[in-house]
Structure 1
Amino acid sequence: MNITPNPSTNTKKSLFKTVVTNLTFWVLIAIISGVLLGHFSPQNGVKMEFLGKKFIQLISVFIGPIIFLTIVLGISGMGNLKKVGRIGVKALAYFEVVSTVALAIGVTVAYLFKPGKIDKSGLTFGDASQYTQGAAEHFSWLQFFLSNFTLQVLLAAIVCGIALNFYKKREQTILVLERVSKVVFFGLKYVMYLAPIGAFGGMAYTIGKFGLATLIPLGKLMLCVYLTMALFVFLILGSILRYYKISIFSILKYIKEELLLVLGTSSSEAALPSIMVKLERMGCSKSVVGLVIPTGYSFNLDGTSIYLSMSVLFIAQLYDVHLSFFEILTVIGILMITSKGAAGVTGSGFIVLASTLTALHKIPVEGLAFLLGVDKFMSEARAITNLIGNTVATIIISKTERDFTELNLEPVSE
């Protein structure tokens, strides 16, 4: 007796296999599990911190080589230094304009909704003066560059890429670098299978350490930060993409795995290697991706810009410090400079804030203590917005270079 297989059964099995073998599924499960552990067993949740840290440290090992190799190959592969300069100028101009818009939106929302004007009864501010004031007093641009690994690698890669164009054995050197690049990305492929573990550790620690009840006094600030970043992503970046007939929703769908990874680890750097691969598959040229993405991680921090601008006004509101229009413009001007390269330095957000507050000589630097406990919860929004911003920037620069083939994207309907 012959039994004909049920097509629907085969389809269900195929769907089940697709789901359970998808890294996104396991990252999402890990995030939910981390939240549950942190909530119901805070002590054990806090102990999971090392998993998230170790995963980020492991990913960070690949950041330097990938940035160096992609930029060098991108510049040397062009063979036309005029094109390198043109893309660089376009990218920097785009970064400055968009990040300034992000700063302005952050200041505007904080000024209008006043998240710092909350009931301060029963609240006590921790003493962060030793940490933050020390960071501000010892801040120097030379030290900032020397401690910023990303900026150092960027500069070295640009110099090497340009120099390689004048090297006699240029073609042989490029072949060697391409082979090394393949080995690095091959190793990264297997490291990424550990992403669910890193996401689980990061979420379990966050919930276990701070809990939900302790966030009530800062709920208004968090709400404003998340809403502002959503406004920036869907209104500003969405409008820019729409001009080029691309839907922001199709972009978000395409990079959903990277967004979930960033959500779990609170680090946009964790998704840097894979987002570069995806953008090339999407249709962006290798040279543009190799220049724009690594540079954007230092100069196009839209989410960080929003967070920093809102934090300055938030602290001013906490201490009932009135800022004039000129002083608010000064805040934007200072942050336009100090926020660049911030992602490459551990604790850089507080260093940038401390240096900005010190430059103003008006807002107590000790107010940063109020942000210490909730910074972790807003870092996800920062990192995700930074990732989306750099993704959009790469697409736009590729479009302006007429070096983009739309693959896996749904054009905006007229």
Structure 2
Amino acid sequence: MTAQSTAPAKKPLHHHLYVQVLVAILLGALFGWLAPQTAAQEWVKALGDGFIKLIKMVIAPIIFCTVVSGVAHIEDARKVGRVGVKALIYFEIVSTFALVIGLLVGNILKAGAGFAGKPDPSAITKYTELAAKRSGVDFVLDIIPDSAIGAFARGEILQVLLFSLLFGFALLTLGERGRGMRTFVDDAGHAMFGVIAIVMKAAPVGAFGAMAYTVGKYGSAALLSLAGLIGSFYLTAALFIAVVLGLIAATVGFNIFRLLAYLKDEILIVLGTSSSESALPPLMEKLERLGCSKPVVGLVVPTGYSFNLDGTNIYMTLTTLFIARAMGVELDFAHQATILVVAMLTSKGASGVSGAGFVTLAATLAAVDPQLAPGMSLVLGIDKFMAECRALTNFIGNGVATIVVSAWEGELDRDKLQEGLKRRIDPSNVETAVSTE
């Protein structure tokens, strides 16, 4: 038996990152509830924002190094296009399931029926204006950076991905002349993951600050007033993960709940910070350790963060039905079919935009029925609580997508997959995660 397959020595419970983050989330919620005025101050918010900025600081370099290294080491350039096409096909199929399950649950539970709130159009003007300005052409042009350095400076994932693919292909054509640069990129990638290992130690502080500020600012009143919608959304997301993603995982040959346990550190970080980007680098690293090939991880994960937004899709359909019923507007089959088509497009067009979930909802409502747009104000107060579930579902969906595409490509090491999911290796030890050539 190799050293890798030996069960890792057990660490004290308080040394595990997921325990630290879970305790931080609970303490943050308690602090926000008991001392809302203090918790709602900017310095508390800065704890969460600071951690997310630290993570975003290295996302672009990690994507660049991973993608360039993956592309530059392959022998068949056509493989990159093949992986991309398979990933996009998978994204569209699963996104459709997410939209449909949101509509089904919304209709079964009669989301929004009997709600007594009144919309405030002035509260959501900035979102509707931003949604109206963004077209499909704008989205395509936004993928092309004004400059490579600008893409890295702004942290635009799709722009960095495009430049990384072009750079990787350039290295591929250099052959032996590009060996030195490939080695440098590989070493830089290892160093970047080392930076992540250091930054992740601050995850409990970030989770505490983000949760405390959320509870302190928005309070339990906003949460309780729309508890039905929040509960329906979390229930729908749980059903989607357990049933849809669970069946997909079973087809490929792994258990979805074992994957959730494997990624529990990152799941709690996403839950605490309401940002799936906060766990993007460790997700890429852990998927490689789980047996997914580097080229597939480098292509599927960054692309999925813009095109595979399962949680956002569920949110759009369910919330659209809620707003329509709350405003007394009955959406027939034709309108609901329109929601599916429009939401599939708008979920891509708003990716990377500040407040993307709300911008996407604004574009969807305006396209389905313009009179529904003011109803966004009904859910404005609880959007932060729903953002956590959106981010969590998006994160898990991209993890499953990467494993599936790796299996399709025949580049999934199933022995490493089973070892990782059965806890025969320590997935939380990021410092030892750097693979050797």
TM superposition score normalised by structure 1: 0.91
User: Counterparts of 1:59 and 1:38 in 2: how far apart (Å)?
Assistant: 24
Give SS of 1:78's match. Answer: coil
Shift of 1:181: 1.1
Matched, 1:245 2:253: yes
1:147 to 1:202, Cα distance in 2 relative to 1, 3 A? farther
**Which range moves more in the overlay, 292-301 or 153-162?**
153-162
1:147 to 1:87, Cα distance in 2 relative to 1, 3 A? closer
Alignment correspondent of 1:199: 207
Equivalent residues in 2 for 1:281-292, closer than 5 Å: 281-292=289-300
Shift of 1:52: 0.8
Alignment correspondent of 1:52: 48
CA deviation vs aligned residue, 1:148-191 (integer Å, no higher than 9, x gap): 71221122222222232212522222111112112211112111
Greater gyration radius: 1
Shift of 1:220: 1.0
Which of 160, 173, 197 is 2:167 aligned to?
A: 160
Matched, 1:127 2:134: no
Alignment correspondent of 1:38: 32
1:145 to 1:30, Cα distance in 2 relative to 1, 3 A? farther
Percent identical pairs in the alignment equals 45
Equivalent residues in 2 for 1:286-365, closer than 5 Å: 286-340=294-348, 342-365=350-373
1:119 to 1:300, Cα distance in 2 relative to 1, 3 A? closer
Shift of 1:89: 1.2
Shift of 1:231: 0.5
Matched, 1:28 2:22: yes
Give SS of 1:322's match. Answer: coil
Gaps of 5+ in 1: 1-13
Shift of 1:139: 2.5
**Which range moves more in the overlay, 36-45 or 22-31?**
22-31
Shift of 1:213: 2.7
1:298 to 1:142, Cα distance in 2 relative to 1, 3 A? same
Matched, 1:367 2:375: yes
Matched, 1:71 2:67: yes
User: Counterparts of 1:172 and 1:285 in 2: how far apart (Å)?
Assistant: 22
Alignment correspondent of 2:421: 409
**Which range moves more in the overlay, 384-393 or 130-139?**
130-139
User: Counterparts of 1:228 and 1:397 in 2: how far apart (Å)?
Assistant: 25
Contact 1:315–1:363 (8 Å) recurs in 2? no
Alignment correspondent of 1:88: 84
Shift of 1:127: 2.8
CA deviation vs aligned residue, 1:121-159 (integer Å, no higher than 9, x gap): 6x6646324223322332234544566712211222222
Aligned residues: 396
User: Counterparts of 1:313 and 1:162 in 2: how far apart (Å)?
Assistant: 46
1:20 to 1:129, Cα distance in 2 relative to 1, 3 A? closer
Alignment correspondent of 2:281: 273
Shift of 1:341: 5.9
- Amino acid in structure 2 at the alignment position of 1:167: L
1:334 to 1:355, Cα distance in 2 relative to 1, 3 A? same
Contact 2:40–2:213 (8 Å) recurs in 1? yes
User: Counterparts of 1:284 and 1:356 in 2: how far apart (Å)?
Assistant: 35
Equivalent residues in 2 for 1:177-192, closer than 5 Å: 177-192=185-200
- Amino acid in structure 2 at the alignment position of 1:135: L
User: Counterparts of 1:64 and 1:307 in 2: how far apart (Å)?
Assistant: 27
Contact 1:145–1:152 (8 Å) recurs in 2? no
Contact 1:72–1:161 (8 Å) recurs in 2? yes
User: Counterparts of 1:156 and 1:279 in 2: how far apart (Å)?
Assistant: 23
Contact 2:128–2:359 (8 Å) recurs in 1? no
CA deviation vs aligned residue, 1:8-31 (integer Å, no higher than 9, x gap): xxxxxx96x622222222111111
User: Counterparts of 1:364 and 1:395 in 2: how far apart (Å)?
Assistant: 39
Matched, 1:104 2:93: no
**Which range moves more in the overlay, 239-248 or 29-38?**
239-248
- Amino acid in structure 2 at the alignment position of 1:50: A
Gaps of 5+ in 2: 1-8, 144-155, 424-437
User: Counterparts of 1:36 and 1:155 in 2: how far apart (Å)?
Assistant: 43
Alignment correspondent of 1:11: none
Shift of 1:251: 0.6
User: Counterparts of 1:212 and 1:341 in 2: how far apart (Å)?
Assistant: 33
Matched, 1:395 2:403: yes
1:33 to 1:378, Cα distance in 2 relative to 1, 3 A? same
Give SS of 2:360's match. Answer: helix
